[in-house]
Amino acid sequence: MAEKVVIGSAELWHGDCREVLPLLTADAVVTDPPYGYSYESNYTAETTTAAWMNTTIANDHDTSARDAVLTWADQRPWLAFGAWRMPKPAGVRGVLVWDKGPASGMGDLSFPWKGSWEEIYVGGKGWAGRRDEGVLKGHWVVTRASMGRTHPNEKPVSLMRDLMKKLPHGCTVLDPFMGSGTTGVAAMHLGLRFVGVEVHRPYFDEACERIARAQAQGSLIPLDPTPVATQQVMEL
């Protein structure tokens, strides 16, 4: 069973995205999927009190979950974060580089250089807007839970917002690996409809709260003037 929560222009699902995909409708995919190398946080109780310390990422044993989603995306415009050490997804048209600035990023903490950049794969058709630099700078990572970080791989809202400005106007954006909901918050800022899926219950609950707060803020452009959360349980 998958749980569906509707918050204004956002449709959020708790479940495995591969099971939920047949029920979804979207015009574009923007996601930070499992990279496929069994990530495990190096943070411990001695370094942080965050809920995500010693966390593993669901479906991160290989790239099959990522590949299933991007196969579903087909010719829709899609963006997917990735790691240099793993095979790129099929259908990549270009690669962007996110300069993370002073953040250390993931990787072997004993290695004497910081992992201060990440790849973003671009595919599909229908991208819009002017041509910009392929290296994205100025979007720094929040590195500590005390500063508001709620997920080990959380991306800055400003980064997701700038990436999504290249999507067709008025489209519905799908993030099938929603995590704590950053893509959804950015979609709300841009007045886009959003569909998100997350398998890990604590992150799903956090995403619902963040997107509900975003809908309630006056800085947004909600498509539904009276966003009300409703819940449905669906048999898959």
From first to last of its 236 residues, what are the pLDDT tens digits of the chain? 799 999 999 999 999 999 999 999 999 999 999 875 555 544 444 444 444 444 555 555 678 999 999 999 999 999 999 988 888 999 999 999 999 887 655 566 777 887 788 999 999 999 999 999 999 998 877 654 444 555 567 899 999 999 999 999 999 999 999 999 999 999 999 999 999 999 999 999 999 999 999 988 844 444 433 344 444 444 44
Q: What is the pTM of this model?
A: 0.81
Q: Where are the domains of the chain?
A: 2-234
pLDDT tens digits along 92-129: 999 999 998 876 555 667 778 877 889 999 999 999 99
Q: Would you put residue 54 in left (φ > 0), alpha (ψ -120 to 50) or beta?
A: left
What single-letter DSSP state applies at residue 125?
S
CA 186 from centroid of its chain's CA atoms = 10
Structure tokens given for 120: 């973003």
- The secondary structure of residue 174, as a DSSP letter, is E
Cα–Cα dist 31/122, whole Å: 11
DSSP labels, 183-203: HHHHHHHTT-EEEEEESSHHH
Q: What is the CATH number that goes with domain 2-234?
A: 3.40.50.150
- Which residue reads 């222009």 in tokens? 9
